[in-house]
Amino acid sequence: MSSFAQQLIRWQKQHGRHDLPWQAQDAYRVWLSEIMLQQTQVATVIPYYQRFVASFPDIASLAAATEDQVLAHWSGLGYYARGRNLHKAAQIIVEKHRGEFPRAFEQIIELPGIGRSTAAAVCALAWHERRAILDGNVKRVLARYCGIEGWAGEKKVEEKLWQQAEALLPSQDVATYTQALMDMGSSVCTRSRPKCALCPVQADCVALRTERIAELPSPRPRKAVPERYAVFLLLMHGNDILLEKRPGSGIWGGLWCPPQFEDEGAARDWFVRNGMEANEGDRLDTFTHTFTHFKLHITPLRIRLERKPLRVEQAGSVWLDVEEALGAAIPTPVRKILEQLQTVRPE
């Protein structure tokens, strides 16, 4: 066993995290946590995870749920394709594997939403199988320790990181070692202001020895962030609001949103075309929601209707009380708008 692995295992047993709610060596819970933790911090994930397993304690209950129920539990966590893929994977496991999470790496990686690192994490943490992982935290630890230059998202750089991840893998205590890598990246070898004095492998860290901690790993090449604009039409009748289910693909696929348009003119045309009559209307403050690859500037237009239009009878549209809508599968910006509407209820 390499001294790197030995020192990390020893450190994890004394200083690592041992009270995370998914540390039960149960494949379902490990898989769920790994999906939720993709691009999301532990502190954010924990309450979502706890609510999720309370409603869906096993693969069978998750597979039996509707997509709406699953996405309602995912609402606010972002990257909603993760929730949709999780649901699809559970259904495949019930259909093809009798509800038992597959043991073979090759079968795990075939499930939707699961890549090489996630499949390896399940094998290592749930079954102590000798598999290397390479999530965001681990990439940072290895890039610094091994002195690997370049952006980790570049294929050649990622291949070097995988080679090191495989080479440093111990022959035993794999689950502890895997958790140690995650804990190191989360609490010691952090992106900014890393705690090098607390690092168990500082003596052999190339980045520390060559004073390149701040340079490694190289950041993602900077690009101008595109900016987009949208108008949300908040059609209100009393305290009910009209929501539409988004198509299955896309950033908010399968979620419920107010009708969305590129500009106020398009919103007005749609309103007239559907024969709606307004009592009054007002424009709420424009706000910005930032995605990974672009910024979306949202202007909500609130329209109070004299009567509910026939459009509610069309598939994919529903009238919900604002409070009820807050419990539905809605994205974060819609939640923000609905919470604002709740503070001003109609007389």
Residue that has been written with the tokens 């949208």 in this structure: 230
* CB contact at 8 A, 53 and 32: yes
Residues 6+ apart with CB under 8 A from 342: 322, 323, 326
Q: Which residues of 310-321 are buried (b: 16+ CB within 10 A; e: fewer)?
A: ebeeeeebbbbe
**Phi first, then psi: what are they for 142, rounded to 5°?**
-70, -35
- Of these residues, 34, 158, 323, 339, which one is catalytic? 34
Closest to 217 measured CA to CA, from 241, 192, 253: 192
Residues 6+ apart with CB under 8 A from 71: 80, 83, 84, 254, 255, 329
Helices 174-183 and 116-127: angle between axes, nearest 10 degrees: 120
Residue that has been written with the tokens 């200083």 in this structure: 15
Strand, coil or helix: what is 300?
strand
Assess whether 34 carries a catalytic annotation: yes
- In sequence order, the β-bridge partners of residue 299 are 231
* CB contact at 8 A, 107 and 95: no
Burial class from Cβ neighbours inside 10 Å (0-12, 13-18, 19+) for residue 339 reads exposed
* CB contact at 8 A, 234 and 341: yes
Distance of CA 283 to the CA centre of its chain: 31
The catalytic site residues sit at: 34
